[in-house]
């Protein structure tokens, strides 16, 4: 069972919140051998393995099953936008030079994306990673989804 995210180390906005939320999840699920996090940088030209290691140290990313990864730029964008259908793009017109959704994908033990439904029966395929549990909701009234992500991780780990 693992969470997938797309981020970049020089992000001036949502990435610090996303990774702070993931560190909280890391701590809660540290003792589970079947749980991990896959973080892919969307700025591989800057985010070298050394930069990613420094970022991990800065944020307290220290679980051996949390992997911060870089690679071929086009392959990462294809993985994000086509493979996971989680938006990521370079955009010189936004702060930091990149845009991305701030969503987390949850993958089960068989490699399938897992989701849940909302109160109306509509699928919630991704989890909003940009609002902390303690914050509750953002200025636009969007509710945090870290708590339901944790519930779903627990469910998948018990399957």
The total number of structural domains in the chain stands at 1
Q: What is the CATH number of the domain that holds 115?
A: 3.40.30.10
pLDDT of residue 118: 87
Domain residue limits at 81: 2-158
pLDDT profile of the chain (159 residues), mean per 10: 98 97 97 96 98 97 96 98 97 95 97 93 94 95 96 96
Residues 1, 156: contact at Cβ < 8 Å? yes
DSSP secondary structure, 132-144, as one string = -TTT-B-TT-PBP
Range list of H helices, the chain: 14-28, 49-59, 73-78, 146-158
Residue 50 and residue 43: Cα distance in Å, rounded? 14
pTM: 0.95
**pLDDT tens per residue across span 137-151:** 999 999 999 999 999
Comparing CA positions, the residue from 23, 39, 37 lying closest to residue 100 is: 39
């Amino acid at each position: 069972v693992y969470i997938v995210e797309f981020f970049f180390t020089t992000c001036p906005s949502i990435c610090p919140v996303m990774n702070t939320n993931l560190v909280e999840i890391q701590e809660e699920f540290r003792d589970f051998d079947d749980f991990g996090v896959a973080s892919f940088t969307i700025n591989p030209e800057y985010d070298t393995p050394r930069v990613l290691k420094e970022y991990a140290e800065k944020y307290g990313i220290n679980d051996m099953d949390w992997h911060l990864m870089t690679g071929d730029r086009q392959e990462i964008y294809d993985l994000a936008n086509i493979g996971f259908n989680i938006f990521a793009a370079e955009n010189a017109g936004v702060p930091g030079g990149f845009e991305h959704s701030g969503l987390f994908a949850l993958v089960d033990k068989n490699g399938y994306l897992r989701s849940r439904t909302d109160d109306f029966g509509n699928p919630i395929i991704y989890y909003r990673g940009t609002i902390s549990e303690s914050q509750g909701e953002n200025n636009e009234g969007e509710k945090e989804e870290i708590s339901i992500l944790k519930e779903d991780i627990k469910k998948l780990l018990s399957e």
